[in-house]
Amino acid sequence: MTFVQVIDYETKRFEEMNALIDRWAEQASGRRTVTHTMIGRDRDAKTHYVDLVEFPSYEEAMRNSQLPETDRMFQEMVALCEGMPKFMNLDVVRDEYLNKLLVNRIFEELAEKGNFDVMEECVAADYMEHDMMRQPGTGDGREGLRRSMTMWRDAFDFTFDLHRQIAEGDCVTTLWNWTGRHKGDFMGMAPTGQEVAMSGCTTFRIENGQIAEGWWYYDAPGLMRQMGTGTGMGADMGTGTGTGTGMGSASGGTTPDMGM
């Protein structure tokens, strides 16, 4: 269970406190068990600060407290404070990244289920897409994303396995595995019933509670090899004028992007 220690203190020497924390992090490198720290300053009392220190568990926090560097830092911290710091020890009982929940809806409701009714709720009107296989701007906006998803949904029955997510600031990065069955026309290829799979990574930027920007990276060459279209990418993989060995259509159609 994740454990958080809250340290409440007052100091008129915050720059020195900041330097002390940096020095401890360097000296305890390779042995400290802290995973995340955050310091907040009271807007109504400029000398009042609250530190949030996160650990994987209470036991790991206890290991960290036994480091000689931690004990030394505590003594120096007290000397910088106006009075004795106050401590609160918390077991985290709910830990939720709302941006992750939003991103999961893109994969599960829009991409897999084709529920485009949630597009307006989840995706910004001026959404921007960056796809390794598509010309810039062609997948932008809600309609651009809708076209991308529709193209893939018409060509494959597929599912995503979201096996790792990292949320930081306004971005969420998802590592995924994609498996599908070729059921419809894809780049001029008639449906084969072939079972295919690939891995990829998507980063979404969230603004005002909606997906505002997306970056898609995935194993397109591996997918094409599984479908028997060659081992390499076409010469003009962003224009759809390749020879059929890459993502471009042999008939000069538009290059498909994952864009979902």
Confidence of residue 73 (pLDDT cuts 50, 70, 90): very high
pLDDT tens for 128-163 read: 999 877 667 667 899 999 988 998 999 999 999 999
Residue-wise pLDDT tens digits, 178-222: 999 999 988 788 898 999 999 999 999 999 999 999 999 999 888
Q: In percent, how much of the chain has pLDDT > 70?
A: 87
How many separate helices (H) and strands (E) can be counted in the chain?
7, 9
pLDDT for position 257? 53
> What pLDDT shows up at residue 189?
83
Q: Is the dihedral of CA 145, 150, 156, 158 positive or negative?
A: positive
- pLDDT of residue 253 exceeding 50: no
pLDDT of residue 98: 93
Kindly state the average pLDDT of the residues 239-250. 32
Share of the chain above pLDDT 90, in %: 73
In the predicted model, what is the mean pLDDT of the chain? Answer: 87
The pTM for the full model equals 0.74
Side-chain half-sphere CA neighbours of 146 within 13 A: 13
Residue 2 phi, psi (nearest 5) = -60, 140
Within 10 A of 226 (CB to CB), how many other CB atoms are there?
15
Q: What pLDDT does residue 131 have?
A: 84
Residue-wise burial string across 145-161, b where 16 or more C-beta atoms lie within 10 A, e elsewhere: bbbbbebbbebbebebe
Residue 60 is predicted with a pLDDT of: 96
Other CB atoms within 10 A of residue 239 CB: 14
CA dist 139 → 55, 207, 242 (Å): 41, 18, 20
Q: pLDDT value at position 24?
A: 95
